[in-house]
Homo-oligomer: A and B are copies of this chain.
Amino acid sequence: MTTTGARRALVVGTGLIGGSLGGALRTRGWHVTGLDADPARAARALELGVVDELGPGLDATIAFVAVPAGDAPGIVGTLLGEPGRPDDLVVTDVSGVKSPVVEAVRHPRFVGGHPMAGSEQSGTEGADPELFVGATWVLTPTLETDPAAYAAVAEVVVSLGADVVALSPADHDRLVAVVSHVPHLVAATLMNAAAEGAKADGALLRLAAGGFRDMTRVAAGQPNIWPDICAENARAIVAGLDRLLSDLGALRDKVARADRAGLLHLLESASTARRALPSSGTRPDHLAELRVPIPDRQGVLAEFTGLASGLDINIYDLTIAHSTEGPRGVLTLLVGQDEADRLRKAIEDRGHFCTVIELA
């Protein structure tokens, strides 16, 4: 079925993330074409209504590549070079490690992405059009990224309900090693140690209360994505594990020598930090709009959004109004009213002009 006039997207890979993306885009008025190497999965996506049709989607203006990390660079490259596609086709992906794909593709109209939305579901059956609401979605523009391409991806991402965090590919990979990859590997290790112990003593797992269940929940997920993640993000994961080994070694010594004050301090810091962990998906009541004329210079958009991320300021919406006379335009950023002045100052410190409008 062709929906005349609708914006048209291509989703390559119609598993959990691709299917959720298709459903989310359709809900928001897009016409979505699905493409999958597995014909059964593609058919199921059509049946579940998360895509409008199957095919190459040559008329799509944006393509989401939601395939295993190892396959992403090849597919992204093919899409960007394929005859018959629009000259301004924008491509983004969803793989969990960004440096390898961004470095392999190196194209102004490719914007690396990582929606940080998980689900204990897997496969097309688990697709959920609301999966991204309130989620953090990292985009990794580089100095070579076309600002219009970045803005196109960011606009879609915020329209799906996610909060954009712009980071360099290397920063993304280092940070996810700390908050995602290393914790996941630790969860698996704790689970294996408990399962091993349970062989000797059947009662062990019956003592596994809520805390243990919480800590090991992620270990139930898909094992087969992890060799790729570990290979692609090896350096940051090894650094994270080394840090953890050192921290746990120090903790072990505190327990062994009954350093009560040291242990209390460690647990108090952790408790304070955990309670202060920002809850995802909450938006402030009062928002402000920052308007920044964008100069004709590559990478400037990535610079602004990177600036916001570095200041720990959430961007709740992002639009770019292009000038009819060329690549200049006006960037509009929606942030919390309490944060607006901090971000304006940072933007002005970089020599740009910025106005703030407080919204009622």
Contact = CB atoms under 8 A, between A and B. Distances in A.
Interface residues of A, number: 98
Interface string A171-200: 110011011101111111111111101000
A352 interface: no
Given A211-B183, A260-B231, A273 B194 contact: yes
A210 interface: yes
B136 A188 contact: no
Contact of A266 (B192, B197, B263, B312): B192
Contacts of A2: none
A138 interface: yes
Given A186-B186, A191-B273, A201-B171, A207 B245 contact: no
A118 interface: yes
Interface string A76-110: 00000000000000000000000000000000000
B194 A178 contact: yes
Interface in A203-219: 203-219
Interface stretch (A148-156, A248-256, A295-303, A317-325): A248-256
Contacts of A221: 271
A133 interface: no
Contact of A207 (B176, B185, B222): B176
A54 to B, nearest CB: 31
A220 B274 contact: yes
Contacts of A251: 185, 189, 241
Interface stretch (A11-19, A275-283, A286-294): A275-283
A260 B175 CA distance: 22
A273 B230 contact: no
A258 B230 contact: yes
B192 A183 contact: no
| Number of this chain's copies in the complex | 2
Nearest to A210: B118
A165 interface: yes
Contacts of A230: 254-255, 258, 260, 263
Decide if the interface of chain A is mainly helix, strand, loop or mixed. helix
Nearest to A224: B264
Nearest to A264: B227
A278 B207 CA distance: 10
A178 to B, nearest CB: 5
A278 B205 contact: yes
19 contacts: A138-B207, A175-B197, A178-B193, A182-B190, A185-B248, A188-B266, A188-B271, A193-B247, A202-B310, A214-B217, A216-B277, A219-B273, A223-B267, A226-B264, A227-B263, A234-B256, A234-B258, A241-B252, A241-B255
Interface of A: 116-118, 135-136, 138, 163, 165, 167, 171-172, 175-176, 178-180, 182-195, 197, 201-224, 226-227, 230-231, 234, 237-238, 240-245, 247-249, 251-252, 254-256, 258, 260-261, 263-264, 266-271, 273-275, 277-278, 280, 309-312, 314
